[in-house]
Structure 1
Amino acid sequence: MINSLYIAKSGLNASKYSVDVTSNNIANENTDGYVKRVVNTSELSSLEDNIGNGVSFDGVTRTTNSYLYDKLVAQSSLASYYEQEDSILSSIEIMFDEADDSGFSTTLSNFFNSIESLREEPTNLIYQNELSTQSQLLVNNLQSLNSDLDDTLESLNTQLQEQVNSVNEILEQIVYLNKQMQQRGETNDLLDKRDALEKELANYVDIEINRDSDTYNLKISGVNVIFNDTNLHEVSINEENIAQKDIYSSSSLDDSNFSDGDEITISLNNTTTLTLSANLSGTDENELKQQIIDEISSNSNFSNYTAYLDSSNNLVIKSNIKGEEGSFDIGISVNSSEISKSATSVEAENNVSLAVYNNELSLASGSLKAITQELTTSTSNIYSYKNSLDEFGSSLVDLVNSSSDTPLFTGSSVDTLNFISDNVSSLSSDDLENLSQIQWSTNLTIGSTSNTSFSEFYQNLLVTVSSNVENNSFKLDSQNAIVNSLETTYNNLTKVDSDEEMINLLQFQAAYEANAKIITAVDEMLQTLLAM
């Protein structure tokens, strides 16, 4: 009979703790990151006759599932990648937005229409002014588009630094929580906070949490950033930009192939031209190449470039500025015959990545994957658009100037594109007749695209811009559907349901009252025995 008192008392304690936990769940129903708690109980060992010895309170745990949690974190990270990419591509689509009476397509059409008008009356000052206006608008609009893309790249560089700082701050906070856990144990509130930080971290990068060992280990893209609970390796930005390097083989500029007095022309970005006369009367080898080197080295317009002979006596012209910012277009011709560059020439390239202790991270997801991808030449949509605009601008200069005895434009890229307004009045009827045909030509070669026109080339660029947005948007919607499905399943397991908690409260209250009645009944039985 005394055992019944102890059994009932254990039931009272278990019910009391259950009521406390239920009350805490209800109080934290709207607390961010809070995971529902449950009381763990087990039967106490029997003492005699297999009757039992009451219930044991075994602590309070969170209702979570590691497998489901890891899946949710991974898929949320991938959704963040598509979301960041959507933000970038959508903002660019707005830059290229076209209306019926505005946009670059309209500007291009107005330019060719102004040529057509002037062709009919070559001496009409109004039409000459109109061509000047439309030509300058054409240049301005191209450069405005290119400038907007540059601004986007600059903004992404700022975001890159900010997000990397955020990643390192989150890692430091996780390490701080791990230190607290070493002192206080893995309490549920600290575990909730660490889960929230892990989810936030996954928005930026793909993460992997190792729970197989006794210590906490976290990896980013397979590389340890937190190990043995509190050891931390910070994430850094790794920029390995490559400078453009034009190489002319030794044989293509060999002295034996040329004569004294041959005219050497060196053009820079189709805006600056150097002309010199070959002097091969000396006895030294590579005299022609050395003349070119000396001319480039002494001219202030070429101050951003270095010319030299490599170990194989190839002529090398290299940008002093690494990356896309230092790209250039230098052409060398002898007696109007252009010297081809070697296939071993190196194009300017930007390479941006993240690293941990010099270990480059191959990001699989997260917003930082989208940012580093767009800042790297080989994977960037932005640099691809800029390259298309440069191809357009360069071809415009070449085709317009080759169709007229009077050049209207200079430059080899959008940045260097310039309209020569003073030459409009010098255009002859033949010049204008030839220029008017460009608009209708469909067999042009612009960059790597052949059999096209200026209008078609630009329309294809617009289609590419819109298509990239739509493709990414579709992937984002699909990924969000996956995340929402996983999140619903996970929340059903971990989130507090007030209705469920109220039912639990009634059950635990009833259990408490039942155990109290047992104690009362046993007390009355004992009083009866004592009164006998």
Structure 2
Amino acid sequence: MLDILNVAQSGLKVSQTQVENVMNNLANENTPGYKKRVVNVEEMDHIDSRKTGRGVETQNVSRITDIYMYQNLITEESQLSSMDELNSMLGDIEAIFKETDISGMSADINRYFKSIENLRTSPQNEIYKNDLANSARVIVSNLKEMYAGIEEVETSTLLGIKENVTEVNNILKEIGNISEKLVKTTSNSPNDLLDKRDHLEKELAKFVDVEIFRGEHYQLKIAGVTAVRFDTNVHEIKLVEDYVPQKDVYARTQVSGNAIVTVTDADGNFESPIKEAFGATGLDNVAVAEVQEIEVSGIATKDSISFLGTTITTAIGDDAATVVANISVQNANIISAWNSEHPNQEIDSITYAGTQIEITYKEFEGDVPAIDNVDINGISFTGSVETTKGVRDSITYTLNNEHSVTVTLGEEILDDYGNPVDITGDGSVANNTVTKDNILQALIYQINNDRDIGGKIKAYNGNYQLTKNGNKILSNNLAHSNTTLANQYADKYLVIESQVPGEEGKFVGEVTISDSLATADPLKPEIHKEHISNNKKVSQDALDDVHLEIYDKEITLSSGALKPMIDNVKTDSGANIFNQYKEKLDQFSKTLSDLTDAYIENPDQSYIYGTDAVELSSEEDRKVSLNLFSGANVKSLRFNKDSLDRLTQDNLDYLATIQWKEDIKFDSSSEDEQSFSQFYQALRVDVADNKENVVFKQGAQAAVKESMENAYAKLTKVDNDEEMILLIKFQSAYSANAKMITVVDEMLQTLLGLKR
């Protein structure tokens, strides 16, 4: 009889627990992260001779969940967060390019070209000039505002990354704390802690992609790298900002098999492509001579005069033409005597025509001082107009299509005070004249000491090396691994590095060589010009290297809100839409500056458009300079109002054709050709298409996530109807067990009555 009571009592306890569990489920129906509980019961072990069993007992209370479905759910949640963030960012970009039919960049481009057409009808009209100036300024202003707008979104995104990284680390810390409690708990049903941890994992997945392992020890990975291991060992996520300056290295390449390789010399230095571009005979292959023109006038008052140190016989009353004829008779003696006295300024020839005398000095004699104006015995020698025949080879470096420096063979390099300088760093100023052996170092000196260029970039003669302390070892230092006594002060190869690290210090540099090629007349060479490109393999683009690390290991996110944020502040992420749009604006600005800076009109009234094309043309001597805009990117773009007053009808005719020119290459690496209006419209379409594509993907991803969330919620969430059915069921079981105790009590009473 007592065994029956024990069985009934066990039934009462289990039913009570089940009823309590139902009430707890109903109470937590709306608790974030709560998963419904079930009471797991089992028959008590048979440990005696009873055949009918010992009753029932509660095994534990467990959560309803599905680990596989849960992992897929947080993965889809992470993907959706990534789409949401990207959509928000693209919305900010789209707002920057927003315009109406009558306002915005497209309308401003049309107004600019319309103002050119108006001025073309009346080139001296001040109203039309002011209209063109205003429309040009608006274009520059709009480009700068759009560029600055994108930069503001970048800045805001970087700030958001920092806030999100802090939030991620707080979540990881909380997960570690909960895991520690779970390890230490003595309860066999720590479901509240497990629910809290699940909820934190789901929150974490909104920021990063998460992978969870629930084996013997809890482990959580972010982007495949362990962030939590052995339950409680938490590694924080770290934001790393490394801003790398742009470095252009001008190193020669050659084809080796199917590959293009960078060429090095025996000492390990790259070979320079700049000197190589000067043709087979090198840098000093064309004669260059200075020419001085002298006008002779007056009437001889004596029977002799002196010319260049030689006495010339004349007759009193001889006119200037007769005197010149008498001088020509002594031509050989004059040249011989002069050259003997002036070995560094030797004359090659003297020609005579009427009252004109033309003196041509020997090639590479440098800058010959002008002959003084003199009056000798009634004869005046005046004018001394200096010109140059032949063209010395030269190298020009241009920064941002705005400022440039040129070094020329035979040029003497002086400081701001006119003093000779040490070009090579060997401590001597004796060799400050530019030669084929030091022309690169002369260019480097001029770049570094130019007021408009030197503060923005730094030029080096070959790559520097760094000590352990980060100090630079220049190539003229024997501590440099590629430097020997033989090459210590020699030209190596040109390296240009930005003084400002990261994207902010990005620049456009251009090296142009002017090579004088010999012809039948050594003083009338053919001029060959060529742009020398930097070696992309060994150069370094300006880089904002913003990335995340766990335990000093860089991680690459595949989803979560932080993924698009990192992608769009990291220069080389491969998915940086901010940089794509800034580059497009830079291309527009550079092309506008180039095409409105210079041109050549061909005999058939066609044109060679822009400075870049003109500089490479054999007809550069017919170049027409406009300088309407200058700059190589948005930040350096300028409108030069002073150029308006110099515009002629021919200039305006040229500028007007640019509006209809549809074969402009804005990107030298692309084959696409467009007009200015087409290029900008294509940019706006690209912005809108990107936004539309993300919105579509976002909608699809939201549907996938919602479907999976509904399926998971159906499994894990509290269902009121289901719980009420269970309540009735468990209440009935409780009542039945209570009834059993009453029955046993009545049976006992009957037995006791029989005994009495």
What is the TM-score when the length of structure 1 is the normalising length? Answer: 0.95
Distance of 1:219 and 1:251 partners within structure 2: 49
- Is 1:38 aligned to 2:60, yes or no? no
Instruction: Quote the residue 2:688 is aligned against.
Output: 466
Instruction: Quote the residue 2:283 is aligned against.
Output: 258
Structure 2 letter corresponding to 1:331: E
1:435 deviation in Å?
A: 0.7
Instruction: Quote the residue 2:735 is aligned against.
Output: 513
1:182 deviation in Å?
A: 2.2
CA contact (8 A) 1:264 1:278 kept: no
1:44 deviation in Å?
A: 1.6
Structure 2 letter corresponding to 1:379: A
- Is 1:272 aligned to 2:408, yes or no? no
Distance of 1:22 and 1:446 partners within structure 2: 70
Distance of 1:140 and 1:322 partners within structure 2: 26
- The structure with the greater share of residues assigned to helix is 1
- Is 1:140 aligned to 2:332, yes or no? no
Instruction: Quote the residue 2:204 is aligned against.
Output: 201
Instruction: Quote the residue 2:181 is aligned against.
Output: 180
1:449 deviation in Å?
A: 4.9
Structure 1 letter corresponding to 2:739: K
Name the CA shift for 1:460/1:284 in 2 (closer, same or farther; >3 Å): closer
1:31 deviation in Å?
A: 1.2
Extract unaligned runs of 5+ from structure 2: 252-271, 285-363, 365-391, 412-430, 463-481, 483-490, 515-527, 600-623
Name the CA shift for 1:189/1:48 in 2 (closer, same or farther; >3 Å): same
Name the CA shift for 1:266/1:57 in 2 (closer, same or farther; >3 Å): same
- Per-residue CA deviations over 1:174-229 (Å, capped at 9, x if unaligned) read 111112222224611111111111011111111111112x2111111111111111
Instruction: Quote the residue 2:724 is aligned against.
Output: 502
Instruction: Quote the residue 1:358 is aligned against.
Output: 552
CA contact (8 A) 2:283 2:436 kept: no
Farther off after superposition, 17-26 or 265-274: 265-274
1:124-523 to 2 correspondences below 5 Å: 124-185=125-186, 187-212=190-215, 214-249=216-251, 250-253=272-275, 257-259=282-284, 261-279=392-410, 286-301=437-452, 302-310=454-462, 311=482, 313-335=492-514, 337-344=529-536, 345-377=539-571, 378-403=574-599, 405-447=625-667, 448-523=670-745
CA contact (8 A) 1:253 1:288 kept: no
1:406 deviation in Å?
A: 2.2
- Per-residue CA deviations over 1:224-276 (Å, capped at 9, x if unaligned) read 11111111111112334442222224142369732465444332112222244
**Larger-Rg structure:** 2
1:479 deviation in Å?
A: 1.0
Distance of 2:6 and 2:121 partners within structure 1: 112
1:418 deviation in Å?
A: 0.6
- Per-residue CA deviations over 1:297-316 (Å, capped at 9, x if unaligned) read 22243223221122592111
CA contact (8 A) 1:279 1:287 kept: no
SS at structure 2 position matched to 1:306:
strand
Distance of 1:191 and 1:268 partners within structure 2: 62
1:351 deviation in Å?
A: 2.8
CA contact (8 A) 2:394 2:407 kept: yes
- Is 1:58 aligned to 2:280, yes or no? no
Distance of 2:125 and 2:226 partners within structure 1: 73
CA contact (8 A) 1:252 1:339 kept: no
Structure 1 letter corresponding to 2:102: D
1:342 deviation in Å?
A: 3.3
SS at structure 2 position matched to 1:136:
helix
Distance of 1:9 and 1:521 partners within structure 2: 13
Structure 1 letter corresponding to 2:213: N
1:12-51 to 2 correspondences below 5 Å: 12-46=12-46, 47-48=48-49, 50-51=51-52
Distance of 1:437 and 1:137 partners within structure 2: 21
CA contact (8 A) 1:279 1:288 kept: no
Farther off after superposition, 343-352 or 517-526: 343-352
Tell me how large the CA RMSD over aligned residues is: 2.0
1:54-133 to 2 correspondences below 5 Å: 54-133=55-134
Identity in percent: 39
Structure 2 letter corresponding to 1:98: E
Instruction: Quote the residue 1:11 is aligned against.
Output: 11
- Per-residue CA deviations over 1:283-303 (Å, capped at 9, x if unaligned) read 987400000111122224322
1:337 deviation in Å?
A: 2.6
Structure 1 letter corresponding to 2:543: E
- Per-residue CA deviations over 1:495-515 (Å, capped at 9, x if unaligned) read 112222222222211111111
CA contact (8 A) 1:42 1:58 kept: yes
Distance of 2:7 and 2:672 partners within structure 1: 90
CA contact (8 A) 1:331 1:338 kept: no
Structure 2 letter corresponding to 1:294: Y
- Per-residue CA deviations over 1:55-92 (Å, capped at 9, x if unaligned) read 11112111111111111011111111111111111211
Distance of 1:182 and 1:247 partners within structure 2: 58
Structure 1 letter corresponding to 2:500: I
Structure 1 letter corresponding to 2:597: N
Structure 1 letter corresponding to 2:629: F
- Per-residue CA deviations over 1:306-337 (Å, capped at 9, x if unaligned) read 21122592111111333221111122334483
Distance of 1:361 and 1:352 partners within structure 2: 11
1:166 deviation in Å?
A: 1.0
Distance of 1:120 and 1:503 partners within structure 2: 91
Name the CA shift for 1:527/1:217 in 2 (closer, same or farther; >3 Å): same
CA contact (8 A) 1:405 1:431 kept: no
What is the TM-score when the length of structure 2 is the normalising length? Answer: 0.68
Distance of 1:158 and 1:300 partners within structure 2: 35
1:352 deviation in Å?
A: 2.3
SS at structure 2 position matched to 1:274:
strand
Farther off after superposition, 267-276 or 193-202: 267-276
CA contact (8 A) 1:352 1:376 kept: yes
- The structure with the greater share of residues assigned to strand is 2
SS at structure 1 position matched to 2:633:
coil
Farther off after superposition, 299-308 or 160-169: 299-308
Distance of 1:28 and 1:43 partners within structure 2: 29
Structure 2 letter corresponding to 1:308: Y
Instruction: Quote the residue 2:372 is aligned against.
Output: none
SS at structure 2 position matched to 1:451:
coil
